[in-house]
């Protein structure tokens, strides 16, 4: 190709052939979306996207999200072609063990991938969170002449993303919050896995998004002029997010299969790949990109220039606004203020000294009141349960009322709220939290899982944690949710029993890296527990001896949350009856299991096989700690509708029943 000018079609075709070749070699994957959206990607990435392939984490880059993550070869092709550390060998190793090109894009595995996508609609939701974070952070830090936070969020989405209910939750809120720097490209190709979608998806998509408050543009997704004009129009709109409806042909370039579901989720086959090469006029072997085409894609030079210009702006900002600049850098790095640990430790000590009886949801609100004044990066909200969850702390300001605020009214959108929270965390500059009843974690479950998969630093506040919440009945009484959370990799779960344990749990949540933290909190008031200084310090270990016997124990009782008090009373009575009983409070099983073996043995000696666990969650979870010889006072059924105290008694969460179960181990 020496001496010839590279055309847009040739650049787009490079995406098409890389995608179909990688899928064909793996004998697995989705070639249709990358081939259909190649022209859109070519215009966006070459003419508009601000990024630096040599520094994928440059903070002021534009964010690009492939929400229809099954089309992952699209983003892998783009990252390779533009100069990211993703060599052609990785593309040829698509979907293979330990490659950097997994079946769906995974955050942290492939440089340049901003979020893990695959469960449809969640990438779109993450994009809303990123755009929200950009707008809020810009309001907090930008000053006249210094737009140090200034970038767009671009999302590719397919029919499946818009069919998923989460798209309604997040796009409705995005319109309400006027996220003008969010631009979504809808791959309107009329095809999903089952075929032509006109049998199951006939929504007026334009009307739907206009009703949300979005700007909606319609274009031919294979016309570079229309694509560029639409992006410019979208970027010029500052008050509304934009949906660009791109009419495309799925599998574009595959002459016998394009426009059909045959290109969606299966390799094209050797004959169709060869036919596509001929149709596209691509006379090169698999995974061979001519140097001229590859060079025309290279974004390393302009990316480095863009970052250098931003750094110059940041230097000027530091000179004129040193305090703000220092704070911005700290927050971007994800570091806590230097005095935070001292402040929170003093607060924990004061909570222990107070002797206050509170529901742990109220204790959490008390913690937030302090944390909000110490951590300006704290941002969060509740799914229409602010008062019940204690999620809106004193002094917080809704971003819907003040752009530089720190509180989000999410409305009744548990799934969308959690996925948006993930997007805020992925963007950086904030420590996001979100709150709802524990039972409604079920609505958000897949977003919770994605936070764990991506190891994102989020805080999930779950209140009304048991049958103790009472009259609302089993529809609102969580039973299996605690076990569900605890068994999810990279999730840390805390179920505190009083104010002091709640404060320790919040400290752990703020300082933790490597995944989200769930704080599981009671509706009902819980009494204060007396502790020595050593016991107070040991709360952070997740499990500790709260009440001990003289000499070696012959029986160990383990409890969490609201069940600690009745278990303490039971332990005291067992001791009065001459049984060497020990009470272990276990606010966080995962934190306890992370301790060294000597500490765990000192709390739960292996020789003591008579053990009873007490918790208003599913009983089977505790078998791993009580063993085959132990017993669990827990739930094996759903709850019922009645006042909380009556339910606790009816289901056996009483002092007498705990004693009876414990004594039965002697029989």
Distance CA 87, CA 12 (A): 19
Tokens coding 312: 């110059």
The single residue of 414, 501, 563, 615 carrying the catalytic annotation is: 414
Tell me which residue of 648, 638, 590, 587 sits closest to 481, measured CA to CA: 638
Distance CA 49, CA 64 (A): 8
Distance CA 128, CA 178 (A): 11
Q: Determine whether 220 is exposed, middle or buried from the number of CB atoms within 10 Å of its CB (0-12, 13-18, 19+).
A: middle
**How is residue 6 annotated by DSSP?**
P
Tokens coding 72: 């992952």
Longest CA–CA span in the chain (Å) reads 95
Cβ atoms of 486 and 148 within 8 Å: the answer is no
- Please list the alpha-helical segments (H only) found in 237-359: 270-280, 291-297, 300-320, 322-333, 340-354
Residues listed for the chain? 667
Distance CA 107, CA 381 (A): 25
- Give the CA-trace dihedral at 442, 446, 448, 452, to 10 degrees: 140
Cβ atoms of 88 and 17 within 8 Å: the answer is no
- Please list the alpha-helical segments (H only) found in 375-480: 386-389, 414-427, 445-453
Tokens coding 631: 């017993």
Q: Is 414 a catalytic residue?
A: yes
Residue with tokens 């609201």: 562
Phi, psi of 296 (to 5 degrees): -70, -20
DSSP assignment string, 461-514:
EEES-SGGG-TT-TTS--SSHHHHHHTSTT-EEE--SSHHHHHHHHHHHHH--S
Distance CA 343, CA 97 (A): 46
Distance CA 399, CA 151 (A): 19
Tell me which residue of 570, 574, 599 sits closest to 666, measured CA to CA: 574
Distance CA 396, CA 387 (A): 13
- For helices 414-427 and 445-453, angle between their N-to-C axes, nearest 10 degrees: 20
Distance CA 522, CA 16 (A): 54
User: What separation, in Å, do the N-terminal and C-terminal C-alpha atoms of the chain show?
Assistant: 87
Distance of CA 360 to the CA centre of its chain: 24
Tell me which residue of 625, 485, 628, 617 sits closest to 557, measured CA to CA: 625
Active site residues: 414
């Amino acid at each position: 190709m020496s001496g010839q000018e590279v055309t847009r079609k040739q650049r787009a075709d490079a995406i098409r052939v890389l995608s179909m070749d990688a899928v064909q070699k793996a004998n697995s994957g989705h070639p249709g979306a990358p081939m259909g959206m190649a022209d859109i990607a070519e215009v966006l990435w070459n003419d508009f996207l601000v990024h630096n392939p040599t520094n994928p984490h440059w903070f002021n880059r534009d964010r690009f999200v492939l929400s229809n993550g099954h089309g992952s070869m699209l983003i892998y092709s783009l990252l390779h072609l533009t100069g990211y550390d993703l060599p052609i060998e990785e593309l040829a190793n698509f979907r293979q063990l330990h490659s950097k090109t997994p079946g769906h894009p995974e955050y942290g595995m492939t440089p340049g991938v901003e979020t893990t996508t695959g469960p449809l609609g969640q990438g779109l939701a993450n994009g809303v969170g990123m755009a929200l974070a950009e707008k809020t952070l810009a309001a907090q830090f930008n000053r006249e002449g210094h737009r140090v936070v200034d970038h767009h969020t671009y999302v590719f989405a397919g029919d499946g993303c818009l069919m998923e209910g989460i798209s309604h939750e997040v796009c409705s809120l995005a319109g309400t919050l006027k996220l003008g720097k969010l631009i979504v490209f809808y791959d309107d190709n009329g095809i999903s896995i089952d075929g032509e979608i006109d049998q199951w998806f006939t929504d007026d998509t334009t009307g739907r998004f206009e009703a949300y408050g979005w700007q909606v543009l319609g274009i031919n997704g294979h016309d570079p002029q229309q694509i560029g004009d639409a992006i410019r129009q979208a970027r010029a709109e500052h008050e509304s997010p934009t949906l660009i409806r791109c009419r495309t042909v799925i599998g574009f370039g595959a002459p016998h299969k394009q426009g059909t579901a045959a290109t969606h989720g299966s390799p094209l086959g050797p004959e169709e790949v060869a036919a596509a090469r001929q149709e596209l006029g691509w006379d090169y072997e698999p995974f061979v990109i001519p140097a001229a085409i590859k060079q025309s894609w290279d974004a390393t030079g302009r990316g480095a220039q863009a970052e250098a210009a931003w750094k110059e702006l940041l230097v000027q900002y530091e000179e004129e606004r040193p305090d703000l600049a220092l704070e911005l850098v700290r927050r971007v790095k994800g570091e806590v203020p230097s005095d935070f640990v001292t402040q929170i430790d003093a607060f924990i000590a004061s909570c222990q000294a107070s002797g206050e009886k509170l529901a742990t949801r109220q204790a959490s609100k008390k913690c937030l009141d302090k944390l909000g004044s110490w951590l300006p990066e704290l941002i969060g909200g509740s799914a229409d349960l602010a008062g019940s969850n204690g999620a809106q702390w004193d002094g917080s300001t809704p971003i819907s009322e003040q752009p530089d605020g720190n509180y989000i009214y999410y409305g009744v959108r548990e799934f969308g709220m959690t996925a948006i929270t993930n997007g805020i965390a992925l963007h950086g500059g904030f420590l996001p939290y979100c709150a709802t009843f524990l039972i409604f974690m079920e609505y958000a479950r897949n977003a919770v899982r994605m936070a764990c998969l991506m190891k994102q630093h989020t805080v999930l506040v779950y209140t009304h944690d048991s049958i103790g919440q009472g009259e609302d009945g089993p529809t609102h009484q969580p039973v299996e949710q605690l076990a569900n959370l605890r068994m999810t990799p990279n999730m840390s779960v805390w179920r505190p029993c009083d104010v002091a344990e709640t404060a320790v749990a919040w400290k752990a949540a703020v300082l933790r890296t490597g995944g989200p933290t769930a704080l599981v909190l009671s509706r009902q008031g819980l009494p204060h527990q007396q502790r020595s200084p050593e016991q107070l310090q040991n709360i952070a270990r997740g499990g500790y001896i709260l009440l001990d016997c003289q000499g070696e124990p012959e029986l160990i009782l383990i409890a969490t949350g609201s069940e600690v008090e009745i278990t303490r009373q039971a332990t005291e009575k067992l001791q009065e009856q001459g049984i060497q009983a020990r009470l272990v409070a276990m606010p966080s099983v995962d934190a306890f299991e992370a301790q060294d073996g000597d500490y765990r043995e000192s709390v739960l000696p292996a020789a003591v096989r008579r053990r009873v666990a007490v918790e208003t969650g599913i009983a089977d979870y505790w078998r791993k700690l009580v063993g085959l010889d132990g017993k669990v006072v827990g739930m094996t059924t759903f709850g019922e509708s009645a006042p909380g105290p009556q339910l606790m008694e009816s289901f056996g969460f009483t002092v007498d029943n705990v004693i009876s179960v414990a004594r039965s181990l002697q029989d």
